[in-house]
Structure 1
Amino acid sequence: MLYAIKNDDGIIRFDRQNYILTSVDYGSIGASHSTAKGVDQVGERVVNTTLDTRDVEIVGFIKAATPEEMEAKKAALYQMCDPRTPWLAMPDEETALECRSTATVKFTPSRLTNNERVASFVIDAISFDPLFRDAVLRYRKIAEWTSNFIWPLIIPHTGFTFADRTEGLITTLENGGSAETGLVIHFSATATVQNPTLTNIETGEFIKLNRTLVAGETVIVNTNYGQESAISQNGDEIEDVINSVDLDSTFLQARVGSTRFRYTAESNVNSMTVTIYFYQRYLGV
């Protein structure tokens, strides 16, 4: 099944009218096992297992009413599957697999299947991150504001608060995927906050910023493997603050199932909101 292919510039849907899907092969993920063997040991002991890349093949054809329409649709497919940029294969509207083409789109040389009205094509790609993921980021927020609006709205003479801040500094993140996943953590300050920390309650692992955040500042920490970073945003100002990450920190991951996180700070904890963004990841669809 393939609903669409997508990149930052647009989307091509397999709608059975313009782009028609013949077949899609998502292949499988190879596994590499590292083993160790002791003296007189029977067999071997598995030390580590890693997953390899995934090969993808998409076969389909384009339909057009005019030569100009065919040229435009071919150009759109070439641009979408440019080997220099990644794109998403979407089995459905809620799931995606990041791919890179291993060659430009291949059209058949035969005039019977490559002409002004119909053009058969093949897209060969590789997924270096072989796990399917959510098409849209999920999120959990710690220390939210809860609305006080109740209709019909009556404002007493003593005054009215539009919202109250929740007191809880703990949240439970539910990962319903089939693999642990990295996080994108937003530390957002409404006043001066010193050295915020996010801790995995079960394991004791934490990520801490040795930094005093000012009002309006958000520090975004990415813990996804190979993408580890820490960026400060305050209005139009953007700063790399990876050196503010405490050396004893762990780039936290969310295991499959439930993970509880607690937020703390060395001062003014009530002036901070923490939002955790993540994708659920899947071995297959």
Structure 2
Amino acid sequence: MNRDTIVIYTSGVNSITFLSKHGSALWVTSITGASGNDVAVSESQGAGQVGSTISNQSVQPRDITINGAVLAAVEANRRGILACVLPGVTGRLTVIQNGESWYIDGAPKRTPEFSDGSVVQDFQFVLHCPYPYWRSTADGSAQVAGLTKLFQFPCSLAGTWYISKYSDSLFTVVNNDGTAAMEFDVIFTAATEVTDPEFYHVERGTFIKINKVMAAGEKITVSTVYGRKGVTLQLPDGTQANGFKYLDVGSDLNMQMAPGTNTIRCDAANNREGLRVQVIMPKGVVPGI
């Protein structure tokens, strides 16, 4: 953490901003637990084997400890921190530094504890983060089938130009700018009637397929994000329902976007041209910052 780092904690409608510069009204002196990852390693050993064989690895949740000090308007700022970092209420910790912005979600494991003092009060709180990776605040979503936006500023109106263009390529590249694989949402939208839309990840060799004749205006969202894996159907009138029954049994709900380029193929049993497919995800995920 450098002197220009900005730390923001958001909980519900409340938000509080800390600076890393000494003399700031709300000063973060240190953050621990933001970089390292604990990994549980399972091993097996056969008779006469020298050493062991790793059978499984699992990245564990992380605890992040924020230490700081209140240097101005002590009583008011103290109450502001206590009103934002609440027990039993999840929050989001965002760190902005070196022109990049990353966030992690969690729940207070220990709410802020303050030292005594009328001019300066030190404080500390601990955030427990079940998903241990940091997500970029930048949007990495991609249109992998359907209309691609082309209009942008500045623009020239001379000659032939297009507001948008239909992607007629069967294969599209989705980029993950982070260093770790990440989960995502994929949204199937039927501009006209579409039969059995499919989302295929070429490198993984797995797919997400919907066994349904989608009427014009219907939208189906499939999430591979742990904690909310599932399928949601949205009808043309906006009504939502559980669409899990339409998910093909061979679909990969553990599909992730690997770091770097991911090649995606979108198709349908009938009327692929009426299918719109969008991937919703952050620009990247990193194990630590």
TM class by smaller structure: 0.7 to 0.9
TM-score, length-normalised on structure 2? 0.84
Structure 1 residue runs without a partner (length 5+): none
SS in 1 for 2:141: strand
Change (3 A) 1:145 1:75: same
Is 1:265 matched up with 2:272? no
* Counterpart secondary structure, 1:243: helix
> Could you tell me how far apart the structure 2 residues matched to 1:239 and 1:177 are?
33
RMSD over aligned CA atoms reads 2.5
Unaligned runs of 5+ in 2: none
What are the equivalent positions in structure 2 for 1:274-285 lying under 5 Å apart?
A: 274-279=277-282, 280-285=284-289
Partner of 1:244: 246
Q: Residue 40 of structure 1 is aligned with which of 12, 25, 48?
A: 48
Q: Does 1:193 align with 2:200?
A: no
Q: How many residues align?
A: 272
Equivalent position of 1:152 in the other structure? 157
Quote how far apart the aligned CAs of 1:228 are: 0.6
Equivalent residue for 2:63?
55
2:11 counterpart of 1:7: yes
Report the CA distance shift for 1:147/1:178 in structure 2 as closer, same or farther (over 3 A): closer
- State the distance in 2 between where 1:177 and 1:49 align: 20
C-alpha distance in 2 between matches for 1:284 and 1:57: 14
Change (3 A) 1:267 1:187: same
C-alpha separation between the residues in 2 aligned to 1:104 and 1:139? 34
2:107 to 100, 112, 116: 100
1:81, CA displacement in angstroms? 1.6
Distance 1:55 1:148, change over 3 A: closer
Q: Distance in 2 between matches of 1:33 and 1:207?
A: 30
Cα separation, 2, equivalents of 1:196 and 1:10: 41
Q: Contact 2:140–2:176 at 8 Å: present in 1 too?
A: no
* Matches for 1:120-135 after TM superposition, within 5 Å: 120-135=122-137
Task: Indicate how the Cα distance of structure 1 residues 76 and 213 shifts in structure 2: closer, same or farther if over 3 A, else same.
Answer: farther
TM-score by length of 1: 0.86
Q: Does 1:254 align with 2:257?
A: yes
Highest Rg: 1 or 2? 1
